[in-house]
Amino acid sequence: MELNLNAMRASSAPAEKQEAVKLLVLGSGPAGLSAALYAARAELNPVVLAGLQLGGQAALTHTIENYPGFPDGVGGPQLGELFQKQAERFGARVEYETAESVDLSQRPFQVKTYGKTYLADALVIATGASPNHLNVPGEAELTGRGVSYCATCDGWFFKDKRVVVVGGGDSALEESLFLTRYASEITIIHRRDQLRAGAILQRRAKENPKIQFIWNSVVTEVLGSDAVQGVRIKDVQTGEERIYPTDGLFIFIGHTPNTQIFSGQLDMDERGYIRSNMLMETSVPGVYVAGEVTDSTFRQVVTSAGMGAAAAIRATHFLEEHS
Ligand code: NAP
């Protein structure tokens, strides 16, 4: 019997559903949920497509100590839940979906998820950024088997083990300090001899007896078959290479904005950040941005939340003028 594969695929594909919304928010980090709060209070009934991680990158942070209003700090996931609850209280709806493609060539803007198309009169893009990879041999193969980009998620697996951290910024130091709860020894490998991180984190890391530094060095290979057993390190000044044994490798070397689906439709800089002005406007009227998808400078919960509020306020004005 001949199988009609196309008919089978068509029948197993989800039915195409459409929903018209006044304001669609892409992303559920501090920027997206703040935009949703302001849009909800403007009675726009915003829909938030949560994406892969409710709460965004902030939800992967164990404790946030610099968000105003929480003098004793607040858990990253907890702050995300509070943002969500506050936005929902005024009528925002969070959908656990991810935007797969967009058409910004005309209004309403089309945003497709798996099995559904949203038709949005205005859009706030708050899709954030993803951690960069070293792109060295062994890294991809051993991700989840000792290679990680999130200490809060995976630190527990390294109880009484040795770990290597790559990077010299705030993330590398903050996550290293968090890892001291579990790991017996943390070695931070940095490509220069000076850290980029802020003074407080530098002091805390340098004073912590579990943390040591290897300067002017890069990881060129991750070693191990089923699990990480070591890394190959190269001294960038002498060129000398050596194998450094470790049970885990945490990589914190910056981020890349999640803007692939907007490519060719919005102005972006050479690194893929969406260009915006002080009013959070993009090159397409009615499309606004907020948070790390447009901001490679501040990258704070408070600045992202502020941008989200600003984007929603401007989107509200836009809709009033274009309804
Ligand atoms: P970052 O500040 O861009 O630092 C990235 C680090 O990775 C730098 O030290 C960089 O080295 C190193 N690096 C980059 N590419 C590398 C490569 N291919 N191989 C080896 N090393 C590499 O990124 P971040 O630490 O994620 O911080 C991002 C932003 O978030 C910053 O603005 C930061 O202030 C903010 N942040 C703040 C907090 C806080 O306030 N508590 C916490 C986390 C993040 P070089 O120094 O040589 O360039």
Residue 6 counted as domain residue: no
Atom 15, ligand 1: residue with shortest CA distance? 253
Question: What's this model's pTM, rounded to 2 decimal places?
Answer: 0.82
Active-site residues, by number, are 150, 153-154
Residue 10 counted as domain residue: no
pLDDT for the residue numbered 62 = 80
Instruction: Based on the fold, state whether residues 152 and 200 are members of the same structural domain.
Output: yes
Residue 2 counted as domain residue: no
Residue 1 counted as domain residue: no
Q: Which atom of ligand 1 is nearest to the CA of 253?
A: 7
Residue 279 counted as domain residue: yes
* Residues spanned by the domain of 264: 15-130+255-321
Ligand 1 contact, 170 CB (< 6 A) = yes
SS3 sequence of the chain = CCCCHHHHHHHHCCCCEEEEEEEEEECCCHHHHHHHHHHHHCCCCCEEECCCCCCHHHHHCCEECCCCCCCCCEEHHHHHHHHHHHHHHCCCEEECCCCCEEECCCCCEEEEECCEEEEEEEEEECCCEEECCCCCCCCCCCECCCEECCHHHHHHHHCCCEEEEECCCHHHHHHHHHHCCCCCEEEEECCCCCCCCCHHHHHHHHHCCCEEEECCEEEEEEECCCCCCEEEEEECCCCCEEEEECCEEEECCCEEECCHHHCCCCCECCCCCECCCCCCECCCCCEEECHHHCCCCCCCHHHHHHHHHHHHHHHHHHHHHCC
pLDDT tens string 197-221: 999 999 999 999 999 999 999 999 9
pLDDT for the residue numbered 7 = 43
Residue 8 counted as domain residue: no
Instruction: Based on the fold, state whether residues 247 and 140 are members of the same structural domain.
Output: yes
Instruction: Based on the fold, state whether residues 265 and 246 are members of the same structural domain.
Output: no
Instruction: Based on the fold, state whether residues 146 and 162 are members of the same structural domain.
Output: yes
pLDDT for the residue numbered 10 = 43
Ligand 1 contact, 194 CB (< 6 A) = no
Residue 233 counted as domain residue: yes
Q: Which atom of ligand 1 is nearest to the CA of 254?
A: 23
Q: Which atom of ligand 1 is nearest to the CA of 173?
A: 25
Number of domains in the chain: 2
Residue 141: which CATH number? 3.50.50.60
pLDDT for the residue numbered 5 = 44
Q: Say how many Å lie between the CA of residue 168 and the centre of ligand 1.
A: 6
Instruction: Based on the fold, state whether residues 86 and 190 are members of the same structural domain.
Output: no
Residue 195 counted as domain residue: yes
Instruction: Based on the fold, state whether residues 262 and 174 are members of the same structural domain.
Output: no
Instruction: Based on the fold, state whether residues 193 and 159 are members of the same structural domain.
Output: yes
Which of 251, 269, 301 is at the close of a domain?
Answer: 251
pLDDT tens string 308-320: 999 999 999 999 9
Ligand 1 contact, 37 CB (< 6 A) = no
Ligand 1 contact, 192 CB (< 6 A) = yes
Instruction: Based on the fold, state whether residues 63 and 110 are members of the same structural domain.
Output: yes
Instruction: Based on the fold, state whether residues 151 and 286 are members of the same structural domain.
Output: no
Which of 251, 276, 309 is at the close of a domain?
Answer: 251
Which of 251, 277, 305 is at the close of a domain?
Answer: 251
Instruction: Based on the fold, state whether residues 37 and 88 are members of the same structural domain.
Output: yes
pLDDT above 70 for 155: yes
pLDDT tens string 22-79: 999 999 999 999 999 999 999 999 999 999 889 998 998 888 889 999 999 999 999 9
